[in-house]
Amino acid sequence: MGKERRKRSAAPRGGPLPPRKTAEEPPPPGQTSIESIKHQLQMPNLEEKLCGLQAIGTYLESEEHVKLLVENGIVRIVFPLLVDENSQVRNTTAGTLRNFSTLNLDACEYLIEQDIMTPLITFFKKYAEDWIPQQVKGHLDEDGDTFLQSVYLLWNLCESSGTSVKYVNESHILPILIRCLNREVFGDEMVVAITHCLFVIIEDNPNAVLEIKELCEKPLNDLLSMNDKTPSDTLLKTLAVGITLNMRYPNILTAPQDIIENVMQILTNTMSVDIRSSCHKVSSILPLDSDDDEEDVEKSIVEVRKEIENLKSLIDAQQTAIEIITNICSPEEETMDIDETSDVDSDMDDEDISCNGTEAVYVTNKLSSDVTKLIVRFNFIEKVWEKTSNLADNVTQLLNESDLGKHLLHRYYLVQSRALLCTNNFIENLPIENLGGHQALYKVWIETGKLVFKTADNVDNVEVLESATAVMRAALDKLKSDVLQSSGAIDLFCDISVNDLSDILNGITRCDCAEIRVNLTRMLGNLVLILISKSSGNSGETEVVIADFLLDRLFKENECWTLAELLDTLMDVFAEDETDSLALRINLVGKLEEITPVIKNKVRQQRKTLGDHGAVVSTVTANLPRFIKYKRKRIELLNK
């Protein structure tokens, strides 16, 4: 698994807490209701337009109704209303589109495909370039709220797709946003939304940086130097760190020492907040269904919403801090030339493959010593690991029983998954001694396994599970490399038994997520190599069970790329000559010969949909026939 930075194609997280649902039920699905909305949106009458927009809002509460809106092109009809002459129509439209963009990644992609960026950019240039809020304390005026909702919409779109970022670069609207970074004039909510948006837009975007670098100098310095008095302060300072590093010091070591000290201390302070305990506290004050006075219930909800908003700011701050730390501990990308024209049906080179003794020396530290020192000095490894913990079961249950709580829980999961990805980066890029040694890394593998298999039945946690299994895979890969080179960690695995593997094997069998299955199967391959090394080539029951399981999975994987990953794992395992007897025992060659035409057929069928997986598929299909020939000769020697 390569380095992990903050992903551009991430689920949208922008925007405030979702509005409370009204008691009114959505209109029944059907062509009549859709046609009515379409008619209202196209009427010149103000009330008709607003009724149509409000009806769309109710449709967004149902996945089935959202599908109707998309299939009938209703959302596309809404776009021009973002620049309507009437301020109330613009405001309602901006809120509706922002709510649509928070549904999922597909919703954002749909908006972009339908050209939402054109009216959105037009709005910023026509209505926001000279806008000044009428009031800061309390609520923004109508035009101010429209601007805010449009910023949230832009943030979500740019978080989800690089295409939106290209539109922003070409439109030159960033100066319009930067002028609103004055908290005294525009208020905290607006400044928070804009800094979030800027943080997303300028990452790996030199054109945007060049355009706004001088404009951002003073407002960023003001944010970095303010005191932490509120959760909003913490969030803004953390975002300012991210923007500063992206704009001026993509490599943190190029920054002056005083700036390095300041930004690292800000990240440390942000990471020191115990959001897990805060979630536990909030879960205990969530309002439950009762016969209490309606006014008292409403007052309680207002207070709880305030607590949640504060906690949300702290959670967002920690997610941002973890993303920054992840980028700091990520080495530069390595490029690799791939022959995309290779024909999987061409004759393979019949030369024998000698796989023994060709493994490259494992690079234990991929970061500079100065970056490593910063990570260790500020204790980021431990601080990030603390954020990978699950909430208590009863807390999760309480949060799931409330709309307010569900929103908070979703944000906690985002922090948890980002912390796991950052931990994955630490493991891949730092030497074992900086990770606490063999025992500490083995404990990470065990503890992450408990998290995975305790959480596996929760379908809302797919992103957490994928990140956690990546950590397990990276940890065992590092321990395997150490075992094969020095045997320093070999004693840690002396008690592994078949019973200990049941959760992993069952988890792979039940898992619908291809990425999680690949992580776990890769991890099992590493475990086989460790166990064989421990037994000096004499395969025991555990190794046989794992190898048999992986071979059996060959005939159950439907996706071409996951099958290729599984074959690649098997070839990695059995490339070692010490595995010859195990290969004979499980009939490796016979089963690989049986699967060869299957993968060739899958490649033909799925070639156009492989995307980023094309490289591993091409490599595996090219190497498989030669590997089979090599291993067959090795096994024949055993029978003589």
- Domain, as residue range, for 543: 431-638
* pLDDT score of 149 more than 70: yes
pLDDT attached to residue 338: 37
pLDDT attached to residue 114: 94
The residue that leads in pLDDT, 275 or 7, is 275
Where does the pLDDT of residue 529 fall: very low under 50, low under 70, confident under 90, or very high at 90 and above? confident
Kindly state whether residue 22 falls inside one of the protein's structural domains: yes
Where does the pLDDT of residue 190 fall: very low under 50, low under 70, confident under 90, or very high at 90 and above? very high
d(CA 228, CA 218): 18
* pLDDT score of 541 more than 90: no
d(CA 211, CA 224): 21
DSSP per-residue letters across 390-449: PPPHHHHHHHHTSHHHHHHHHHHHHHHHHHHHHHHHHHHHS-GGGGT-HHHHHHHHHHHH
pLDDT attached to residue 101: 94
* pLDDT score of 163 more than 90: yes
Q: Would you give the DSSP letter of residue 44?
A: S
Kindly state whether residue 573 falls inside one of the protein's structural domains: yes
Q: Which of 114, 147, 182 is the last residue of a domain?
A: 182
Kindly state whether residue 177 falls inside one of the protein's structural domains: yes
Kindly state whether residue 52 falls inside one of the protein's structural domains: yes
- pLDDT per position as a tens digit, 553-577: 999 998 999 999 999 999 999 998 8
Question: Do the Cβ atoms of 393 and 3 come closer than 8 Å?
Answer: no
Kindly state whether residue 579 falls inside one of the protein's structural domains: yes
Q: How many domains does the chain have?
A: 2
* pLDDT score of 426 more than 60: yes
Torsion angle of the four alpha carbons 116, 118, 120, 123, in this order, in degrees rounded to the nearest 10: -150
pLDDT attached to residue 229: 87
pLDDT attached to residue 482: 76
Q: Would you give the DSSP letter of residue 351?
A: S
- pLDDT per position as a tens digit, 32-69: 488 889 989 999 889 999 999 999 988 988 888 899 89
The residue that leads in pLDDT, 5 or 570, is 570
What does the pLDDT average to over 438-445? 92
Q: What percent of the chain has pLDDT over 70?
A: 84
Q: What percent of the chain has pLDDT over 90?
A: 55
3-state secondary structure 27-69: CCCCHHHHHHHHHHHCCCCHHHHHHHHHHHHHHCCCHHHHHHH
Kindly state whether residue 118 falls inside one of the protein's structural domains: yes
Where does the pLDDT of residue 181 fall: very low under 50, low under 70, confident under 90, or very high at 90 and above? very high
The residue that leads in pLDDT, 537 or 400, is 400
pLDDT attached to residue 352: 42
What does the pLDDT average to over 525-532? 88
Kindly state whether residue 560 falls inside one of the protein's structural domains: yes
* pLDDT score of 1 more than 90: no
Q: Which of 135, 164, 182 is the last residue of a domain?
A: 182
* pLDDT score of 413 more than 90: yes
* pLDDT score of 483 more than 90: no
What does the pLDDT average to over 108-117? 94
Where does the pLDDT of residue 2 fall: very low under 50, low under 70, confident under 90, or very high at 90 and above? very low
Question: Do the Cβ atoms of 533 and 590 come closer than 8 Å?
Answer: no
pLDDT attached to residue 202: 94
d(CA 74, CA 87): 21
d(CA 181, CA 220): 9
Kindly state whether residue 364 falls inside one of the protein's structural domains: no
Where does the pLDDT of residue 547 fall: very low under 50, low under 70, confident under 90, or very high at 90 and above? very high
Tokens of 568: 């690649």
The region of weakest confidence among 276-290, 356-370, 411-425 is 356-370
* pLDDT score of 333 more than 70: no
Helix, strand or coil for residue 162? helix
Question: Do the Cβ atoms of 69 and 75 come closer than 8 Å?
Answer: yes
pLDDT attached to residue 334: 43
Q: Which residues contact 478 (CB under 8 A, 6 or more apart)?
A: 427, 428, 432, 435, 441
pLDDT attached to residue 329: 87
Task: Provide the CATH number for the domain around residue 51.
Answer: 1.25.10.10
Cα angle for residues 415, 420, 423 (degrees, 5° grid): 125
What does the pLDDT average to over 219-242? 93
- pLDDT per position as a tens digit, 375-389: 999 999 999 999 999
* pLDDT score of 31 more than 70: no
d(CA 92, CA 98): 10
The residue that leads in pLDDT, 227 or 314, is 314
pLDDT attached to residue 619: 92
* pLDDT score of 351 more than 50: no
d(CA 110, CA 101): 9
From residue 203, alpha-carbon distances to 206, 453, 612 in Å are 8, 35, 22
Tokens of 432: 């074992």
Where does the pLDDT of residue 495 fall: very low under 50, low under 70, confident under 90, or very high at 90 and above? confident
Question: Do the Cβ atoms of 75 and 108 come closer than 8 Å?
Answer: no
- What average pLDDT is seen over the chain? 84
pLDDT attached to residue 293: 52
Q: Which of 182, 210, 243 is the last residue of a domain?
A: 182
